Amino acid sequence: MGRFTGRTAVITGSGRRKGLGEAIALQLAAEGAAVVISDIGASRDAATPGAMIGATAEMQDIAADIRKLGVEASTCVCDVRDPAQVQALADHAVKTHGGLDIWVNNAGIGYIMKPLLEVTPDDWNAVIGVNLTGAFFGLQAAARVMAGQGRGGRIVNIASQAAKSGFPHAQAYTSSKHGLVGLARSAAIELGPLGITVNNVCPNHVTTGLGAWQNEYFSKVTGAASVEDYLQKMAARIPMGRPGLTQDTANAVAFLCSDEAAYITAESLNVSGGEEPH
């Protein structure tokens, strides 16, 4: 029996191999949870290019791997910018797996990076729309179901070190992640009496598929001799001597979703090897 046996978890943005969402889903499943793998499925517009999103086939492959662990897994395509689709995702968890106990807002855009004066209204709206508004829709949909069930629940937003500190070329991204701090603090006050906790996990840089793109981009912006040089300089400023791993974030999410964390809410937990101290 694992910590999450008998519970159902939804993880948005979990349809990409080697991504944070996949790692979180695998960790929760390894501890007994039934898991819903959700992603946008296909490019919808310029803000969701095919190379940066979880395709339907990839989602299905991840779910198949999870079933090999001996737990239930399903897939549900969802564009988190659409509240009707987000509510349908929550309803899918109930109809398919019998309930909803854990909701992880992981979907995000971290690939629209530009100098401040080059950011367009479309750039800004795309990032805020997925990273912050999409998380709000997810929190709201999950809370509706959890409140109706009457047994509490866990909601976790994947924020970032950018929820605590500013970064160049990431104005919308940093704003969206800072916004998650306020969202969690406010939602936790209202949902606490229902036994629903709301927390953020704030990882530093993790080299996922998106992270690899960021490495390329910022190595050029900072004038590093190479991506390897950029990564070496990054590691040198982290007390633990390395960037984050997907498993570091997955472990933190699992803890916040567990019974051991039942009295922890409204928090924004750094998972940064000491790089982010506040």
Strand pairing category for 8-11 and 196-203:
unpaired
Q: Of the residues 173, 217, 230, 263, which is catalytic? A: 173
Distance CA 195, CA 113 (A): 38
The reply to whether 173 belongs to the active site is: yes
Mutual orientation of helices 134-149 and 83-97 as an angle, nearest 10°? 40
70: left (phi over 0), alpha (psi -120 to 50) or beta: left
Closest CA to 31 of 267, 253, 202: 253
**131 and 176 in contact (C-beta within 8 Å)?**
yes
Distance CA 198, CA 156 (A): 6
Residues involved in catalysis: 173
